[in-house]
Amino acid sequence: MKFKWTLLTSFTLMSALSFRPIHAGTEPHRIEISAKRFEFSPSEITVKKGEPVELVIQSSDVTHGLQFADLDQKVQINKGTPATLSFTPDKAGDFTGQCFIFCGTARSACSAVSITVGTISTPMATPPASALNRPVVTTTVA
């Protein structure tokens, strides 16, 4: 009888200690970006380290490309079809994304997208694209 009681107590204790609540997956921070010849808008974005990010990029004129070499992220954006770049930043810092598709002779004047990745304690500071009212795209990962 003592063996059964010890076994039952051990099983109950192990079950209680190994219980971990199941959390639903974290929804990604969705950021919409518009691309057109020589500019991305918004051009500055701030995100948090370790939290999923989903960049949804739309082009209304020609095919564009956006590459963040230091984050190992690259996407092609075709005219009229939104492209999604999903990732979870694993390091903090400032990262610049550049267009990698030739779209005209003024390509050197093309704006970049800047992502700032901060730590979990860094507050999100990206205003909506409509409030920026400028053609620069910067992304910050915290």
Whether residue 70 is predicted with pLDDT greater than 60 in this model: the reply is: yes
CATH class of 28-141: mainly beta
Radius of gyration over every alpha carbon of the chain, rounded to an integer in angstroms: 22
Whether residue 50 is predicted with pLDDT greater than 80 in this model: the reply is: yes
Band of the pLDDT at 7, cuts 50, 70, 90? very low
Which pTM value belongs to this model? 0.63
In this structure, are residues 56 and 82 in contact, taking their beta carbons and an 8 Å threshold? yes
Which pLDDT does position 54 carry in this prediction? 96
Which pLDDT does position 13 carry in this prediction? 46
Interval 112-124: pLDDT, tens = 788 888 875 444 4
Higher pLDDT, 140 or 48: 48
Q: What rounded mean pLDDT belongs to the chain?
A: 74
The dihedrals phi and psi of 82, each to the nearest 5 degrees, come to -60, 140
3-state secondary structure of 66: strand
In this structure, are residues 109 and 133 in contact, taking their beta carbons and an 8 Å threshold? no
> Residue 10's CB: how many other CB atoms inside 10 A?
10
Domain ranges of the chain: 28-141
- Alpha-carbon distance 135 to 33, whole Å? 10
Whether residue 93 is predicted with pLDDT greater than 50 in this model: the reply is: yes
Tell the residue number behind the tokens 């994304």, with chain if given.
97
- Alpha-carbon distance 57 to 46, whole Å? 16
